[in-house]
Structure 1
Amino acid sequence: MAKNSAAVRGWPLMVLLLIVLFTAIIFFIKAAYDSCNAHGYVQTESFNRLKPIPSMRFQENPLAFMKFKLVLLVSHELSLSGGPLLLMELAFLLSGVGTEVVWLTNQKPVEPDEVIYSLEHKMLEKGVKVFPAKGQEAIDTALKADMIILNTAVAGKWLDAVLKEDVSRVLPKVLWWIHEMRGHYFKLEYVKHLPFVAGAMIDSHTTADYWKNRTQERLGIKMPDTYVVHLGNSNDLMEVAEDTVARRVLHEHVRESLGVRKEDLVFAIINSVSRGKGQDLFLRSFYESLQIIQEKKLQVPSLHAVVVGSDMNAQTKFETELRNFVVEKRIHDRVHFVNKTLNVSPYLASIDVLVQNSQARGECFGRITIEAMAFQLPVLGTAAGGTMEIVLNGTTGWLHPAGKEGVTALAENIIKLSTDVNMRLRMGKKGYERVKEIFLEHHMSHRISDVLKDVLRKAKNNA
């Protein structure tokens, strides 16, 4: 009898494991099908208007016209940072419709690098060709290509260094995808060819305006036709975000690994650890919120902070400062550092609130923000950069000032969400609805397809 009881008790666990296994298999082998139940918008700086994007139901992939085209992608580096990963995603979208895609990485370390090896291998598996950035093969590909996409301002150095006297021949078919918001990228050596390319693609209106003003004022050059293209979440990420079983399993597993209980509240910042991303000010806000809770004797769950984006192998001076602050304030049992990762889904499934604390002019867009909203997480973000074009203040999250003046404001917003579970759930739901409306992969594909068509037309006219 005891054996039968044990067997019965084991069935639910076995069923759950089978469901999780099935979900995992589907996730890894399913092709990137387009979502079919939402509407989005095309936004271009030239017209600064919104226009509906049709549903993808029964419709051709918006990038299908790129079949048989040759596209050269030039990235300044290959790493787990936003710019290279976005270009890789575009490479896969194009390769998926039959485009011949060639990838060049302009700056690579002399020594073998595990991250670069892994990312290059992933591209090769997806049908993307990876060539050396210098040499005759790179020049021949650039001259034959139907389109060249330079990724980030720094990639501009590749033009003169490799193409030399052939630069003028390729400029009419260059699309320059710019993600940077900081002043030190405004160097003539990087962007002197910018006025002569077919167009610039930028992820937010705020960044586009900034580039337009700064290039004119600081460098005395004019921006080319500029396209503002908001990003979208990949179909793979949305599958996990909308899979209740997968989310629950990830939630429990990650929390267990961090030593966080089911009833605890977790606030996470997910960016490469650097001063510009504001992890130091976030931790100060987190500590201040703990002090306020203690002083006012507020009844809230135990709060935890997770910093995803560390580099355990090469801790920087800045990261050492973060860890020393945690020890000094005796909050090491509440703050958890996690190494940088290509897969953020497990952490988004396991936390309660995302903090987007990028400083100065903020993020150009901030892909992690819409990824968190897909997981129905409220967002606490700085009122700067592209975050203001994503987060609806008071509806899908709360915004606070960048800089030191934002520390107390962020602490207060942490307390707001800690003390009001209904607010967290309501904001998370509204954020998810906003993602479904304008921030899906097929929305981004439509927006990018309009840009690529325009660039191809210009390249043909200037041939």
Structure 2
Amino acid sequence: MEESVSKVPPSLRLGSFKSSLSGRSTPKSSPTFRRLHSSRTPRREARSGAGGIQWFRSNRLVYWLLLITLWAYLGFYVQSRWAHGHKKEEFLGFTGDPRNKLLDAEKNARRDLLADDSLVAVNTGTNKTQVSSDRKFNVILAKKGNEVSSRKKRSKRARRNLHKMRGKPKEKMNNEIRDTEDQEQEILLTNSTYRLLVGPFGSVEDRVLEWSPEKRSGTCDRKGHFARLVWSRRLVLVFHELSMTGAPISMMELATELLSCGATVSAVVLSKKGGLASELARRRIKVLEDRADLSFKTAMKADLVIAGSAVCASWIASRVLSHRALLKCDVLVSDQYIAHFPAGGSQIAWWIMENRREYFDRSKLVLHRVKMLIFLSELQSKQWLTWCQEENIKLRSQPALVPLAVNDELAFVAGIPCSLNTPSSSPEKMLEKRQLLRDAVRKEMGLKDNDMLVMSLSSINAGKGQLFLLEAAHLFIDQYPLQTGSEVKKSLDIRHDHSTLGVKHHLRGLVLKSSNGDLSSRDLRTRNSHRRKMLFDSQGTEEQALKVLIGSVGSKSNKISYVKENLRFLSQHAKLSESVLWTPTTTRVASLYSAADVYIMNSQGLGETFGRVTVEAMAFGLPVLGTDAGGTKEIVDHNVTGLLHPMGHPGTQVLAENLRFLLKNPSARKQMGMEGRKKVERNYLKKHMYKRFVEVLTRCMRSR
């Protein structure tokens, strides 16, 4: 009995009190169990989490360091947003109040609502209203059922705007006048007003050329000096307006080239009216919404500021002049900015594109404060330097000369080798496509093959001389019959062994002398023996006709009164009006140059400063008839690339004779056009302009 009790199975004696779930003590016959992935029980996890919290709470130093870090970050964030933000009124959600949103909507809808003759003034102490004629208030109508007073409802921004509007009645009046001009411009932009309004032909260009400038991705020569100089640089470009005229378009193309070469570009626009706003957006050119504080801060951080017109004097003066000098300056815009940087002129290159004295007068206060002046032509440079001497203005550095040039898009269509050429679109193939484009556009214009289309593209104002052009065309139609007279034929016969260019010089001299009566028909026959007729050939019976194309209708720079004066002149001469066509303002001008036969630059006064359209027309092989003044005289070689005539009414007679000469001499037109094209290839392509810009940028950014 005792033995049976004392005998214990070995398994029980060697066994463990651990649970059978333990892998080590599990009997062989029992099933095996695997541990879960988590080695902690929920109780252990809770203990560890609570321990971390207790550790964080016990270490108060860590708590305060974290709090200080968050507070410092918030402070830097607020300071950064306040310093660089241009919508301070929306900062930190100040516009989140629905009452402010309602006020802004009402204010925008009724911004121009000002009482003129009798305005209502509300007395907050009583319910009485008084009528006052000597004070003006912003009138904001509240919705029915809104019991909140208008004074409480108005935000701080609204009160500041009210104070500004009270102090600037003159600016509001000017805005209303400009709005009226815009309405008149829209009324004039109709076929019924202009009778023959053609174009634009952008869709025709895309279809015929099988290429669009909108598809270009940049034409920067990465290996060139210009690209190496502007790479990673920050530049600010100041536009005086966004009209489709020479200065804004040139600045836009400069910004595009800078972006293509790796620079950071910001644009300041003083007047946003015009048709280039959408084009700037398409080219991804950043336009600063504020032309005051934000533009000044951006310019202060830039490597260089390039202002693109004498009109930019207002922005430059606000930047570099002291407050006392600003009060004496009567040429600035009505906005007087608070932030001025007297040393900011050392980083401004001023590309002046005007040549009239009025522009010098409005900019003379700051000419000596900028780093460098840039001019377009020798005559313009000499004229401005003479005015500076008269006013005892000493410039900081020697002015530079950077003429405008033909961009790659136009050179590509004109058949001139450029960066856009590919094996499938060589210059030779583009010349063939340009001829197809010419035929298509002239067909849409309703022109015949024998018609000579004379074109003038510019703003329609007295300084461009469109009315004198119409007078010359009227003289041409009335005084000169389309048939060729025998005397003119004899005077224009040439020798067989003359060179082609020499013939054109000779012919021009004969025409002028014959018109003055210096040479008789007998003298001409004696001096020009063994000659034959090359020009004035009367092959066929179809008569040649003169057609005049005038642009740019709808331009911001057009003078409405002058436009109406031109239309009145046409209404008085019905025969002339049948030969005049009009075209809207556009940047797609390759089709117009392709369709034209002659280009006219008829600027008056001091003449054209340079004439960007002049070199563009020459690139397309067009002879130029221009006034003998300004930059036109430097570009056009008389009797070689075109013909020059005096300004004003005396020049209309000479211009009519020049029109007659080119109409009856297609060979002369072709030869002059070829010579003009060669001159453009030598001097006025994009590579020539940016080579000069390299010198300017090197001088301006050398000391920074």
Q: What is aligned with 2:634?
A: 389
Match of 1:177 in 2: 351
With 93-102 and 219-228 compared, the bigger mean Cα shift is at 219-228
Counterpart check, 1:122 vs 2:276: no
Q: Pick the aligned partner of 2:232 from 68, 75, 98.
A: 68
Picking from 532, 551, 554, the partner of 1:308 is 551
**Is this contact kept in 2: 1:356–1:369, CA < 8 A?**
yes
Counterpart CA distance in 2 for 1:93 and 1:61 is 13
The answer to whether residue 365 in structure 2 is matched with residue 192 in structure 1 is yes
| Distance in 2 separating the partners of 1:420 and 1:297 | 11
Aligned to 2:270: 106
Aligned to 1:144: 301
- Which structure has the greater CA radius of gyration? 2
Whether 1:83 and 2:260 are equivalent positions in the alignment is no
Distance 1:328 1:297, change over 3 A: farther
| Displacement after TM superposition at 1:32 (Å) | 4.8
Given the superposition, is the C-alpha separation of residues 104 and 27 from structure 1 closer, same or farther in structure 2, using an over 3 Å criterion?
Answer: closer
Structure 1 residue aligned with 2:569, among 314, 321, 325?
325
Q: Distance in 1 between matches of 2:554 and 2:294?
A: 35
Aligned equivalent of 1:212, options 385, 393, 403? 385
Instruction: Give CA-to-partner distance per residue, 1:88-134, whole Å, 9 cap, x none.
Output: 111111111011000001234xxxx5x45xx2343233332110243
Q: Please give the alpha-carbon distance, in whole angstroms, between the structure 2 residues aligned to 1:26 and 1:161.
A: 40
Residue correspondence of structure 1 range 13-412 to structure 2 within 5 A:
21=207, 23-25=209-211, 27-33=213-219, 60=224, 62-108=226-272, 115-116=274-275, 119-161=276-318, 166-187=340-361, 189-217=362-390, 219-224=391-396, 225-242=398-415, 243-294=430-481, 297-298=484-485, 301-311=544-554, 316-330=560-574, 331-412=576-657
Separation in 2, partners of 1:316, 1:102: 33
- What is the identity, as a one-letter code, of the residue corresponding to 2:544? P
TM-score (norm 1): 0.83
- Give the C-alpha shift of residue 193 in structure 1: 1.4
Deviation at 1:312, TM superposition (A): 8.8
Aligned-partner residue type, residue 606 of structure 2: R
Secondary structure of 1:407 counterpart: helix
Structure 2, gaps ≥5 residues long:
1-202, 323-339, 416-429, 486-537
- Bigger relative contact order (CA 8 A; separation at least 6): 1
Q: Distance in 1 between matches of 2:647 and 2:208?
A: 44
Q: Is the 8 A contact 2:406 2:685 kept in 1?
A: yes
Shift of 1:163: 6.2
Q: Distance in 1 between matches of 2:583 and 2:212?
A: 27
Contact 1:378 1:397 in 2 (8 A): yes
Deviation of 1:198 after TM superposition, in Å, equals 1.2
Q: 1:445 and 1:284 mapped to 2: Cα distance?
A: 40
SS in 2 for 1:231: coil
| TM-score of the superposed pair, with normalisation by structure 2 | 0.55
Higher strand share: 1
Query: Displacement, 1:241?
Result: 1.1
Q: Secondary structure at the match of 1:232?
A: coil
**d(CA) in 1 for partners of 2:610, 2:657:** 25
Instruction: Name the residue aligned to 2:139.
Output: none
Q: How far apart are residue 30 of structure 1 and its match?
A: 4.0
Rounded Cα–Cα distance in structure 1 between residues aligned with 2:281 and 2:597: 36
290-299 or 172-181, larger mean C-alpha shift: 290-299
Residue 27 of structure 1 contacts residue 239 of structure 1 at CA under 8 Å; is this kept in 2?
no
Note if contact 2:233-2:263 (Cα within 8 Å) is conserved in structure 1: yes
Equivalent runs, 1:405-420 vs 2, <5 Å: 405-420=650-665
Secondary structure at 2:550's aligned position in 1? strand
8 Å contact kept, 1:95–1:101: yes
Q: Secondary structure at the match of 2:459?
A: coil
Deviates more, 1:324-333 or 1:395-404: 324-333
1:42-74: per-residue Cα shift (whole Å, max 9, x none)? xxxxxxxxxxxxxx8x95253431011111111
1:22 to partner: Cα distance? 8.0
Q: Is the 8 A contact 1:143 1:170 kept in 2?
A: yes
Matched-pair contact (CA < 8 Å) for 1:63–1:446: no
Structure 1 contact 63–445 (Cα < 8 Å) conserved: no
Q: Contact 1:212–1:222 at 8 Å: present in 2 too?
A: no
**More displaced 10-residue stretch of structure 1: 344-353 or 252-261:** 252-261
Q: CA deviation at 1:246?
A: 3.2
1:181 corresponds to which letter in structure 2?
N
Q: Report the Cα offset of residue 24 of structure 1.
A: 2.5
2:368 and 2:301 mapped to 1: Cα distance?
22
1:238 is aligned with what amino acid?
A
SS across alignment from 2:297? helix
Distance of aligned partners of 1:170 and 1:162 in 2 relative to their CA distance in 1, 3 Å threshold: closer
Backbone CA RMSD of aligned residues = 2.5
Closer, same or farther in 2 for the Cα pair 1:198/1:161, shift >3 Å? closer
Shift of 1:26: 6.4
Classify 1:339/1:432 alpha carbon distance in 2 versus 1 (closer, same or farther; 3 Å).
same
State the percentage of identical aligned residues: 29
Sort the Cα spacing of 1:439 and 1:312 in 2 relative to 1 into closer, same or farther, 3 A. Answer: closer
Q: CA contact under 8 A between 2:208 and 2:433: conserved in structure 1? A: no
SS at match of 1:304: strand
Which residue identity lines up with residue 322 of structure 1 in the other structure?
A: N
Structure 1 unaligned runs (5+)? 1-16, 35-55
